[in-house]
């Protein structure tokens, strides 16, 4: 029988590109991938549940996680801190399960330095006008914050070269199909087979 390693998939991209939507759609259609739940200092939104959407912690608890080396990566994303609990990821990979991270680009670059076998997928906006429209329509950000995210996006696009795949998110359904295909292809890659 062919055995393969657990694969770490990192879905990343600029703020407002639709990472969360693609991730949710992916999890609805694939039950054989484990989602890593991040820790954050952000306050929960009305529809969010503690320990399901995030581990909502205060800054002191977050700093403690850093000092105890419990985070695989962490970054300040605009005004809040976010980080990936290390043990969940390593334990599941060790058991041969595939793990999905949905994180920002700074975090993805840290994972890249630590886990070069991971598969990095950059979700890109069709263009800046469409990104501006999406950021406006989600109604979470001030004009100042939208302008900052658009300016940051231009710099973030320069990181595409460090990723394995780029998927343009024109339509969620198409982007989802592409991400699913990438996952299936990686699962068939001989690089991920355990030999012997």
Residue among 115 and 192 whose Cβ is closer to ligand 5GP: 115
Residue among 141 and 177 whose Cβ is closer to ligand 5GP: 141
Residue among 101 and 183 whose Cβ is closer to ligand 5GP: 101
Q: Which residues bind ligand 5GP (CB under 6 A)?
A: 15, 19, 38, 42, 73, 75, 77, 82-84, 102-104, 106-107
- Tell me the residue number closest to ligand 5GP, measured at CB: 107
Instruction: Kindly state the smallest distance separating residue 52's Cβ from ligand 5GP, in Å.
Output: 13
List of E strands, the chain: 3-4, 8-12, 33-35, 39-40, 55-56, 71-77, 80-85, 98-102, 119-124, 165-168, 193-194
CB-count burial class (<10 Å; 0-12, 13-18, 19+) for 49: exposed
Rg (CA), the chain: 17
In sequence order, the β-bridge partners of residue 167 are 123
Residue among 42 and 92 whose Cβ is closer to ligand 5GP: 42
Instruction: Kindly state the smallest distance separating residue 21's Cβ from ligand 5GP, in Å.
Output: 11
């Amino acid at each position: 029988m062919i055995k393969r390693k657990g694969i770490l998939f990192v879905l990343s991209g600029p703020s407002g590109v639709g990472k969360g939507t693609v991730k949710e759609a992916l999890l609805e259609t694939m039950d054989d991938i484990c989602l890593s739940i991040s820790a954050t200092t952000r306050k929960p939104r009305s529809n969010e549940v503690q320990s399901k959407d995030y581990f909502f912690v205060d800054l002191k608890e977050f700093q403690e996680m850093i000092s105890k080396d419990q985070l695989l990566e962490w970054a300040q994303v605009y005004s809040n801190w976010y980080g990936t609990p290390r043990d969940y990821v390593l334990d599941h990979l060790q058991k041969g399960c595939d793990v999905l991270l949905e994180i920002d680009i700074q975090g993805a670059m840290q994972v890249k330095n630590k886990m070069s076998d991971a598969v990095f997928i950059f979700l890109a906006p069709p263009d800046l006008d469409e990104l501006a429209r999406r950021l406006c329509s989600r109604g979470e950000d001030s004009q100042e914050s939208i302008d900052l995210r658009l300016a940051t996006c231009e710099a973030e696009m320069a990181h595409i070269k460090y990723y394995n795949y780029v998927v343009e998110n024109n339509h969620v359904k198409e982007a989802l199909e592409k991400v699913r295909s990438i996952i299936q292809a990686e699962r068939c890659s001989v690089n991920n087979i355990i030999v012997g």
